[in-house]
Chains A and B, each alone.
Chain A
Amino acid sequence: MRSANAIDFWRGVALLMIFVNHIPGNAFGQLTLRNYAISDAAELFVFLAGWSLSYATGGPHHPEPYARTFFRLISRAIELYRAQLVITMLALALLASVAIIRNNPLFLEWHNAASAFYDPIRATIGIVLLTHQLGYFNILPLYIVLLLFAPLIVVLTRWRVWSALALSLAVYGFALATGVSLPNWPAEERWFFNPLSWQVLLVLGFVGAELSRSSERFNQIVARLVPLGWLLAAVGAYLALNQLWPDPMRVPEPKLLFLFDKTYLSPARIISLLAIAVAFQGAFKYIERPLGPITSLMCAYGRNSLAVFCVGSLLSLIGQVVRAILPESFLLDCATVLCGVCLMGFTAWFVEWRSRIPGLVSPRAS
């Protein structure tokens, strides 16, 4: 078990915010990043995934052999794929059960589920191909695609940092300018998170980690950028609090470049996230102690991010169902979030407890 560190902590915070955000209407949704910044927890999560990629693959000084990195990341992608299929099936079964128990077929069309129930022949294929994603169950498909390309990112970055950045930005610019994305099927839509755009955050996270671990100069520059980070974060907070989003009718072409679009990850969202990362880079060591048990809990979430994310996704859905069935109240919102926090904590504890019992599970590489 890793000791408490900033990356696990912020990852855990991102997971908690994703859980809360995925219960629309819940009062605690007012506290999450998206209300105070142009970017939200999803950006933070992907950026930190890139950052921890540096640690998972040995780092700049002792890089592991590329073949090992390749197999490690591909098997991680397969693990995520399995998780995505399992949580999708559980979510569908949950919606179906609620529809039967409440005798209310509206639940069958919640979050894009309708095709799975009314057009199962195509939807089954779509689920397996990741082109049929339930609403809020669309982060893992993004992460899977990113991991499939992660070995290339690792190799390029460790060869020449600029080559990885150049390729990444070129693909990003192409996606923004043309609107190209991965298609959904059977529904005629696009992926909620366009991997062609979102890869840029993973690359920035990875490159950032590699440079901060190898270049003193880089760390000095970043330290000098702190005031700018605070300034930009403050501007973002002002825009977000006053809901000053650019009007799609008024911005010039290519519109995606100037909007705050989430699907295509408009530049404003990246700038917002980087500003926050720079501004808060040293914050962990000040809040680690005062927060005490909360720090341990968030770090436990972060260390076991996949399991916590999966359980959190299902708990969000249950939270939504509960909201739909029971009369709305602040007390209910508190109870929902408290249950979620505890069960996600239990998940993290269980995964680590299980891995400590000799012979119960095979030791994990990742």
Chain B
Amino acid sequence: MVCRVEKPHTWLGVAASFLICASAAAQEQVSPQQRFQVATLSRAASELSSDCSVKKAYGPRAPLYSVRRALREQRPVKVLAIGSSSTVGVGASSPAAAYPARLEVTLEGFLPGVDIRMMNRGVSGETGRGAVERLKLEVAETMPDLVVWQVGTNDALARIDEDDFAETLREAIDWLEANRIDIVLIDPQYVERLAGDGYYTRIVKTIAEVAGKERVLLVNRFEAMADLAKRKGNSAFLAQDRFHLNDVGYRCMAEYAARAIAAGILQAEAEAARQN
């Protein structure tokens, strides 16, 4: 990283700049611009728009090292969105209103001057092994810094054994980690009819457990949407069929994911600073 000294008019200025520069270098060389980004990010990570305001939108504190690395190397951040119809954007008024496009815009708002390259791949209706093999191939083809994986709905419907499902998740997470690619999980959507379905909620819980143990960021979509539904009724964020997310719903989903990512970058900064 280059430490630039601006307008060194006097020797005092030079010395002061040198001191600031040196102290910045000691603190893992954070430039003023990055400090600004950190400030924006911390604000962004804690605020939600009034439509989407929920108690808890994302899971454990976990670092996104690869995204941080991309930011520090000042190159575009490549994000691969993998998932089923919520990722494809069924029910949205236009592709621009679907969650990946929203996420891209929101993230670019948080990180001024950073190019977020969103790649959107659906893994429709697939469960278990097949999904992981496909995920690996998509990742190898696109080489992203971050994978946002919306997972669990199909496994819950097919009644895939919970342990097998957890094993599949762990395998994908470990594989991504080994290849130094960050991951953010998004759990299944909240559906009124399924709130009492033991299997469905167990799959949601399994994802949270794996995310906790593996220390991976998780967007608690199920919980967040249940929270919203309690306060505002389903109609506010579900499309006419009362199931699919409408534009507001996709915006909230993107907001939660963006917050989770912002928090992940901050966590990576904090952990890197601690290590030095």
Binding site for B on A (CB under 8 A): 24-25, 102-112, 114-115, 117-119, 134-135, 187-189, 243, 245, 247-249, 255, 259, 261, 320, 323-324, 328
Contact = CB atoms under 8 A, between A and B. Distances in A.
Nearest to A261: B137
Interface stretch (B35-43, B85-93, B109-117, B211-219): B85-93
The 9 closest A-B pairs by CB, nearest first: A105-B243, A248-B140, A135-B125, A111-B125, A114-B85, A112-B124, A109-B85, A114-B90, A118-B90
A111 B124 contact: yes
Nearest to B138: A248
A189 B137 CA distance: 14
Nearest to B121: A189
A24 B158 contact: yes
Contacts of A320: 157-158
Contacts of B241: 105, 108, 117-118
8 contacts: A105-B241, A109-B153, A109-B244, A114-B88, A118-B91, A243-B129, A324-B157, A324-B158
Contacts of B137: 248, 255, 259, 261
A24 B126 CA distance: 9
A87 to B, nearest CB: 16
Nearest to A118: B90
B206 to A, nearest CB: 15
B131 to A, nearest CB: 10
Contacts of A324: 157-159
**Which of B90, B91, B120, B241 counts the most A-chain CB atoms under 10 A from its CB?**
B90
Contacts of A119: 90
A106 B133 contact: no
B160 A25 contact: yes
A154 B180 CA distance: 50
Contacts of A118: 85, 90-91, 239, 241, 244
B128 interface: yes
**Which of B121, B125, B126 counts the most A-chain CB atoms under 10 A from its CB?**
B125
Nearest to B127: A24
A102 B159 contact: no
A106 B244 CA distance: 9
A129 B269 CA distance: 51
A81 to B, nearest CB: 23
Given A106-B157, A323-B158, 18 more contacts: A25-B158, A102-B193, A105-B243, A106-B191, A108-B241, A109-B85, A112-B124, A114-B244, A117-B241, A118-B91, A135-B125, A248-B139, A248-B140, A249-B136, A249-B179, A255-B140, A323-B159, A324-B157
B47 interface: no
